[in-house]
Amino acid sequence: MQLKINDIKNIIEKYAPPRLKESYDNVGLMVGDMECEVTSILVSLDCTLKVIEEAQQNKCNLIFTHHPLLFKRPDSITVGSLLGKKIMMLIENHINVYSCHTNLDSAQGGINDIIMEMLGFDSSDVIEPVKVDGRLEYRDGIGRISRLREPIILSELCNKVKRCLEIPSVRYVGNEFKLIEKIAVINGSGQSYFNEVRLQGVDCIITGDTTYHYVSDFEEQGIAVIDAGHFGTEWPAMKKVAVFLQNKIKSLGFENNVILSKVNRDPYKCK
């Protein structure tokens, strides 16, 4: 018996059911055939041209990403667009793409919880809980809130985020000596949840992709914000997801390899 794309789908969707995704999102098999036999799997945050080339070089016929390749329905698929070029390249090389996005963010044990664990925080509350049939006992939903066992000043928290997530720098607003007792973590781009967490009395929000006016307003309201980047708040957790996937595949009796992308990187550079 050979491992098939459908087997990977079953593993992932038991872990992070598609019904947990946000209404605007698109998850699941983006390109490919559910009955295709899997060679090796390449795990990446994004499906870039370099990642597709990396899959070819490593003889991986499945790319598992967090960000959907097809986030919005394309008007056309041609080599004249970046998306069209990627899709045609994938099809020509018989490479499948499966994406697990906001459902993986929301799932108990998913991206948000992994980042909380890496930072050493208890995931005590969910910012926006989601209840779905069959998972009523789970704590699913976007974002996590924790009251720290030991308060920490903002400058030390910034250093902790850099160290635990292995990132070179963070942006932050707030007095560096501000005492932080209650924090919110929203991986990726979490700005749309800021008002919700403000009402829950947090001292600091850790997320990525913040914009000037938003963080300026929150600084005036006495709430610190640590922007660790979209990549920085998701890729460290995807590495853990890759280990989970490899272990599940082995538990089913298969020997297929799960490989972490070496070319998937943060598009932002720091000097």
Q: What is the mean pLDDT of residues 9-31?
A: 96
> What CA–CA distance (Å, rounded) separates 15 from 114?
13
Question: What share of the chain has pLDDT > 90, as a percent?
Answer: 92
**Residue 63 within any structural domain of the chain:** yes
Q: What is the mean pLDDT of residues 117-132?
A: 90
Q: Are residues 159 and 205 in the same domain?
A: yes
Q: Are residues 210 and 128 in the same domain?
A: yes
pTM for this prediction: 0.95
pLDDT for residue 110: 96
Q: Are residues 223 and 239 in the same domain?
A: no
**Total domains, the chain:** 2
Range of the domain at 243: 5-104+235-260
Dihedral sign for Cα 59, 43, 17, 87, please.
negative
pLDDT for residue 91: 97
Q: Are residues 189 and 154 in the same domain?
A: yes
| Distance, C-alpha 111 to centroid of its chain | 5
pLDDT for residue 136: 84
Residue 126 has pLDDT above 90, yes or no: yes
Mean pLDDT of the chain: 95
Are the C-beta atoms of residues 207 and 228 closer than 8 Å to each other?
Answer: yes
Strands 171-173, 224-227: pairing kind? antiparallel
**Residue 241 within any structural domain of the chain:** yes
Note the pLDDT tens digit of each residue in 22-61.
Answer: 999 999 999 999 999 999 999 999 999 999 999 999 999 9
Q: What is the mean pLDDT of residues 87-91?
A: 97
Q: How far is CA 88 from CA 26, 94, 104, 207, in A?
A: 20, 10, 27, 34
Q: Cα-flanking dihedrals φ and ψ of residue 197, to 5°?
A: -75, -30
Note the pLDDT tens digit of each residue in 141-155.
Answer: 999 999 999 999 999
**Residue 209 within any structural domain of the chain:** yes
Measured at the CA of 238, the angle between CA 232 and CA 243, to 5 degrees, comes to: 140
Q: Are residues 92 and 14 in the same domain?
A: yes
CA terminus-to-terminus distance, the chain: 51
Residue 123 has pLDDT above 70, yes or no: no
Can you give the CATH number for the domain in which 189 is found? 3.40.1390.30
Q: Are residues 149 and 86 in the same domain?
A: no
Q: Other CB atoms closer than 10 Å to residue 228's CB: what's the count? A: 27
Q: Are residues 127 and 190 in the same domain?
A: yes
Residue 225 has pLDDT above 90, yes or no: yes
Q: Are residues 132 and 170 in the same domain?
A: yes
Q: Which residue's entry shows tokens 């720091």? A: 270
Write the single-letter amino acid at 139: R
Q: How confident is the model at residue 122 (pLDDT cuts 50, 70, 90)?
A: confident
Beta bridge partners of 145: 125, 184
Q: Are residues 126 and 33 in the same domain?
A: no
**Residue 114 within any structural domain of the chain:** no
**Residue 40 within any structural domain of the chain:** yes
